[in-house]
Amino acid sequence: MKVSIYKRIAFFLALIMVITTVPMLTFGRESRSEHHHSSMCRENNCHHSRIDNLRRPAAGLSPAVPTRSVSPSSLHFGDLQMLDTIVRNNFPTIANSTPVALTLPIDFNSFPTGWDAFHWARPLNDVYYRLVSINVSDAIGRINLSEFEWLDFVSITNGNVEFVELGSQRWLSVLDLSRNNIEYLNLSNAPYIWWLCLYGNNLTSISLVHNRVLDTLCLGNNPRLTNIVIPQASYLRWVNISNTAVRNVPPALRNIPRQYRDFGNSILSGEEPPTPQPPNDNEDTDNDYGDDENNNEEDDDIDYNPRLIPDNINPLAPRDVLPHIVNRETASSGLRNFLHALRSRDEEGDETGLENVLLSRFAESAIGRVATLFIGEERYINVNLDNIFDISIEAFIVRDSILEMFIEEEHVQNRQINTVVTLATENADVQITISPDVIESGIDSIVIMTPYYSLTFPRSFIYNNAQVEPLIITVTVNDLQPEITPLSTISTEVGRFSYTVEFSRPVYDPISLAVEPIHGELETQTLRMTDGSVASTRYNPISGMLEARISRDDTYKVITNIINFEDIDGRSLEMQTAIRVLAAQGLVTGVTATEFLPDAPIDRAGTAALFMRTLSRLNPNADGGFVDVHPSDWFFGAAGSASHVGLMHGTGEARFDPHTSLTRDQLVALAARTLRSEMRYNDPRDVMRYLQLFADYDDIAEWFLNDIALATRENLVIRRADGMFIPDEPITRGEAAIILYRLYLRIW
C-alpha cells in the first residue's frame, strides 16, 4: 500500500513541476532553451508567440514544490542511489520532511556533448524518482525513453538521432526532435502530445491517429515525407508541412485557417493543393474554406473554422448557446459573442460587476459541457482518475483556449476560471463513488449530470472528505403531488419532485445540488429539508437551474418561500430585495416574525452566523475554544465554524466577543476575504485606484487596504453620496444585508 501512495505522490509532484519548472527552464527569457526554440521557430516558420506561452494540458496542485540545484560531476541513468545521497547530504531537512524537485546534470553515454536540464521528482522517504523533462542537443544513435513513464517535455535536437523509442508516455505533451535523422517514429503510446516538431528529419510517413490533443505540428523540411495520417476530428491550430513530398493534404489540415498553416511546396510533381470551387445554386454552399469569391489578403482575418455557434442564437442567452458548445472552438466562439454582446449593451461599463460574474459562470459551464463523458443509463458511477483522465485533459485545453480568447479581446478576468468535467447518465437514481485519486487530476469541479438534477463536487470537498477513502453518495428522485401551504407570514408552493441525498459518512463541506425551478419568482425559490429549514439556494441564469449548497443527509424539495417584514417598507429597493431574498434562503432572520430592525447594529455573533449560512459551512457542534462562547449559546456553532474555516478569529485571550458591534471596514473585509477564499478572486493590481474613490481613504487601517480595494472593485461596498467610507462606523443590519446579498450573487 505504501508503494501505491508514493506513486501517487510522485504523480502530482510531477504535475506540479511541469507547471512551475518547465516553463521557466524551457521558455524563460534567460534560458538557453528559449534561444533554441526562438531560432527553431524562425527557421521552421512556426508561431513563436504560441510556443513562448505554451500551457500544459494538465495542472498540478499549489503551492509549488521548492526547487534546488546541485552540481555533481555527472549522473548516469539508473544511478538513483547517488542522487539519494546527494539529496540527503546537501538538503537533509528537505529530504526528510518535504518532497522536492531537483535539477541535475546527467551524462547520457550516447550524448557526446550538451545538456540543458533534467528534472526529477522525489517523494518523501523513498528512493522513487520520476524524470519529467529532457532538453539536450548533439545526441547520436538510438535513444530509448520507454522506461520514463512520467516524461512531459522532451527536446532532443541538432544531432544525428536515428530512432527514438517512446514507451507509455501518458503525460508527454511537448516533443521536439528537430534536425536529426529520424526515419520513423511511433506515437501510438503518447496520445497527449500537445506540441510536436519533427522539422528537418528523414521521415517518410507519420501516423497521428492515436493523438487526441495535438495543437501545433511542424513537419517541414522532411523531403521524403509523403503520407500524413491524422483523424478528421483534430484540434490542430498550427501546422507546417513545407518542403515535403506530401501529395494529398489531409482534410484536418486543410480546415486550419490560412494564417496558421504553411503547406509551402509540399505538393510535388507539378500538382497544386486543392482549391475551393465557387459555390453554385445547386450545391451546398457550406465548405471548409468560406466564401472565396473575393479571395484576397483581407481574407486572412476570416475565421474559416466551420464549427461555430449558429448566427440565429441570441449571444445574451447562454442557456440557448450551451447546447451548441461541443468543442473548444465553439466554447471560445460562444464566450466571445457573449462578451461582445455585453460590451455593446453596456458601453459605459458594468456598475454592478455582475456581468463579469456571468462571463465566468458561462466559461465554466462551457468547459464542463465540452469535457463530458456520457455513460448511458449507468446507475453506479465510479468517479476515479482513470474514468475522468481524458475529459480532464480536455477541460484544461478548453480553459486555456478561453483564456487565450480573453487575452485577445483584452478582457481582464478578476478571478480564476475553474476546470470542470461532467459525467452524464440517463438514470435519475444513482450511487456515486468518489475515489481519492481524482484529486490527482487537478480538476476543480466534477459534475454528475442526470435528466432531473445535477451534483457538483468541488475540489475542496473531495480533498476534505474523500482524500483517504472513497465516499459514496446515493441520490433518489421522488415524485410528489403539488401542494400549497399558506401560513401567516410564509407562503410556500412545492414542486413536483423531491431529491433524497445520502452520504456514506458525515461531511461538513457543501456540494451543489442543481434542480429545475418551479413557476414564480426565482430569487425566493429554495430547497426545503424535512425539518422545515431551507438550504442556501441561488438561481443560475446560465443553466436555468436552482443551485443549492447541501452537506447533510436529507430530502430536498423546491418551494417558493416568501417572507415579509413590515419595517423595511420605504427603504431602498436594493435593501428590500436583499432582505427578502436572504430571508427566503434562510440566511438572515428577523428579530420577530414581522420585524427585521434594519437600523440596528450587527454584532460579531450575528456576522459569523450570516457568513457561515451563506457558505453552507455552519457546523452546529463546531467548538472554537473561546472562553466567552458556550454550547448553550445560539451562535456556538457559528463562532466555531467561522474560526475553523479561517474567516473570523478571536479578539485575544481566547475571546470571541460575540456581542461587540462590527464596523464597516471589518464587514467589508470579511466579504472580500470570502471572495478570495471561496471563488479565487484576484486582488487588484492597483490598490490605490480603488481606495482613492473614498475621500477618507487615509483613515482605513493598513491591514484592510487590499480587502477594501477588492471589495470596491467587485461592488461589495455601499457607496455614499458624500464620497466617504467611514471605516470605524458600526454597520447596521440593513447595510449588512445589502453587502451580503451582493456577495451571495457572486458565490456558487
| 584 belongs to a structural domain | yes
- What's the distance, CA 112 to chain centroid? 43
DSSP states along 647-680: S---SBTTB--TTSBPBHHHHHHHHHHHHHHHH-
H or E stretch at 558: strand 554-560
H or E stretch at 642: helix 636-644
| 86 belongs to a structural domain | yes
Residue 362 three-state SS = helix
pLDDT at 662: 93
The Cα–Cα gap between 640 and 483 comes to 38
Could you tell me if 584 and 523 are in contact, meaning their C-beta atoms sit under 8 angstroms apart?
Answer: yes
Task: Please list, in sequence order, all residues whose beta carbon lies within 8 angstroms of the beta carbon of residue 289, skipping any fewer than 6 positions away.
Answer: 254, 276, 304
The Cα–Cα gap between 136 and 122 comes to 22
Q: What letter represents residue 701's amino acid?
A: A
The interaxial angle of helices 733-744 and 604-614, nearest 10 deg, is 20
pLDDT averaged per 10 residues in sequence order, the chain, 748 residues: 47 46 32 35 40 29 28 36 44 38 37 35 38 67 72 80 76 85 82 86 84 82 86 71 82 75 58 42 39 38 47 79 87 90 69 79 94 91 92 90 90 90 94 94 94 94 92 92 44 75 93 92 93 93 93 94 92 94 93 93 93 89 92 93 89 90 94 90 91 93 93 93 94 95 90
The Cα–Cα gap between 568 and 599 comes to 10
Domain closes at, from 516, 537, 563? 563
Residue 411 three-state SS = coil
The answer to whether residues 689 and 616 belong to one domain is yes
Domain closes at, from 563, 595, 619? 563
Could you tell me if 99 and 9 are in contact, meaning their C-beta atoms sit under 8 angstroms apart?
Answer: yes
The Cα–Cα gap between 180 and 46 comes to 18
The answer to whether residues 571 and 559 belong to one domain is no
| 381 belongs to a structural domain | yes
Burial class, 308, CB count within 10 angstroms (exposed 0-12 / middle 13-18 / buried 19+): middle
| 271 belongs to a structural domain | no
Q: Which residue from 231, 269, 262, 230 is spatially nearest to 247, judged by alpha carbons?
A: 269
pLDDT at 573: 94
Domain closes at, from 516, 541, 563? 563
Cell numbers representing residue 217 in the block: 505540428
H or E stretch at 140: strand 140-144
The answer to whether residues 490 and 634 belong to one domain is no
Q: What letter represents residue 609's amino acid?
A: A
Cell numbers representing residue 677 in the block: 477564499
Distances from the Cα of 732 to the Cαs of 219, 577, 713, 724, in angstroms? 68, 16, 22, 16
The answer to whether residues 673 and 636 belong to one domain is yes
The Cα–Cα gap between 380 and 699 comes to 58
Q: Within 10 A of 289 (CB to CB), how many other CB atoms are there?
A: 18
The answer to whether residues 507 and 404 belong to one domain is yes
Cis amide bond preceding 727, omega within 30 = no
The Cα–Cα gap between 416 and 664 comes to 27
Query: From edge to edge, which strands make up the β-sheet containing 537-540?
Result: 372-374, 420-424, 445-449, 453-458, 511-515, 545-550, 537-540
Residue 700 three-state SS = coil
| 303 belongs to a structural domain | no
Phi, psi of 401 (to 5 degrees): -65, -40
Model confidence, pTM: 0.63
In the block, residue with C-alpha cell 545526441? 139
pLDDT at 184: 84
The answer to whether residues 601 and 661 belong to one domain is yes
The answer to whether residues 447 and 546 belong to one domain is yes
Domain ranges, residue 11: 2-262
| 643 belongs to a structural domain | yes
The answer to whether residues 590 and 504 belong to one domain is no
Q: What letter represents residue 97's amino acid?
A: S
| 697 belongs to a structural domain | yes
Q: Which residue from 214, 310, 212, 222 is spatially nearest to 264, judged by alpha carbons?
A: 222
**β pairing state of 554-560 and 525-528:** antiparallel
pLDDT at 292: 38
pLDDT at 148: 67
The answer to whether residues 545 and 570 belong to one domain is no
| 273 belongs to a structural domain | no
Residue 6 three-state SS = helix
**β pairing state of 117-122 and 130-137:** antiparallel
The answer to whether residues 430 and 456 belong to one domain is yes
Task: Please list, in sequence order, all residues whose beta carbon lies within 8 angstroms of the beta carbon of residue 619, skipping any fewer than 6 positions away.
Answer: 508, 637, 640, 641, 644
Q: What letter represents residue 148's amino acid?
A: F
- Output the CA torsion sign for 582, 588, 589, 595: negative
Q: What letter represents residue 574's amino acid?
A: E
Could you tell me if 351 and 399 are in contact, meaning their C-beta atoms sit under 8 angstroms apart?
Answer: no
The answer to whether residues 219 and 327 belong to one domain is no
Q: What letter represents residue 443's amino acid?
A: I
The answer to whether residues 442 and 556 belong to one domain is yes
Q: What letter represents residue 93's amino acid?
A: T
* 688-724 residues labelled b (16+ CB within 10 A) or e (exposed): eebbeebeebeebeeebbbbbbbbbbbbbbbeeeeee
Q: What angle do CA 524, 671, 563 make, to 5 degrees?
A: 20
- Please tell me the total count of domains within the chain: 3
Burial class, 376, CB count within 10 angstroms (exposed 0-12 / middle 13-18 / buried 19+): exposed
Listed in sequence order, the DSSP H helices in 54-194 are 80-90, 92-97
